Amino acid sequence: MKVLRKSTLEEYALHFWARQETKNDPKDRDALTDIKAGGDPVTQLERRYDYKLPHRDNTVIRIALLDQKDVQYLFIHDYMPGDDWMRIRGLVPDPYTRRLWDLAGMFIKRGYFHGEWIDRQREHYDNWKCKGSLQNVIAGSERTLIQCVRPEEYEIVDGWARLLPFTVLLRQGREFQPIETFVAWRPCDEP
């Protein structure tokens, strides 16, 4: 992981809301109106999508470039492998894993990316598999947020729907391209 520059929770929140605005979700209308009028984007995120924020003690925010090993060793939240989304789609991992690389392999084996479900993960996969390269598919407005949960262990906070198809395409032989991401650390854990 290569740190590119300092950032803030406010920058991440503005980034998040700019992406949300493109989704035209009616439930976000009030928050977006408030932010455009000068409201606090972090407060709006706390009210509506608190699970898209890092742990409260992860106050150091940076923009970093992830290499292939970093991506392979990302984890998803501990509740996700058995949540309703995974159960309904027949994707509960067995054996249990939270590691993105392993989950990507399981999703391939179970045919998720060629099946009936047209989720954001599938939309990204379909769009990106048509491109000649994975360069810049996760950068700029598509940046994710990961957080340090233990030294050298990072968990996806925001970006599962982008990082999963990216990793699936890597497992299917696409050449790796670095990913720009927001990273959150506790002050004592920052590298």
- Residue 174 pLDDT: 95
The answer to whether position 106 is within a domain reads yes
**Number of domains into which the chain is organized:** 1
The answer to whether position 160 is within a domain reads yes
The answer to whether position 190 is within a domain reads no
The answer to whether position 118 is within a domain reads yes
User: The domain containing residue 129 runs over which residues?
Assistant: 2-185
pLDDT over threshold 90, residue 18: yes
The answer to whether position 33 is within a domain reads yes
pLDDT over threshold 80, residue 116: yes
Judge whether 167 and 177 are in contact, CB under 8 Å: no
Model confidence at 92, pLDDT cuts 50, 70, 90, reads: very high
* Burial annotation 46-73 (CB, 10 A radius, 16+ → b, else e): eeebeebbbeeebebbbbbebeeebbbe
pTM value is 0.93
The answer to whether position 31 is within a domain reads yes
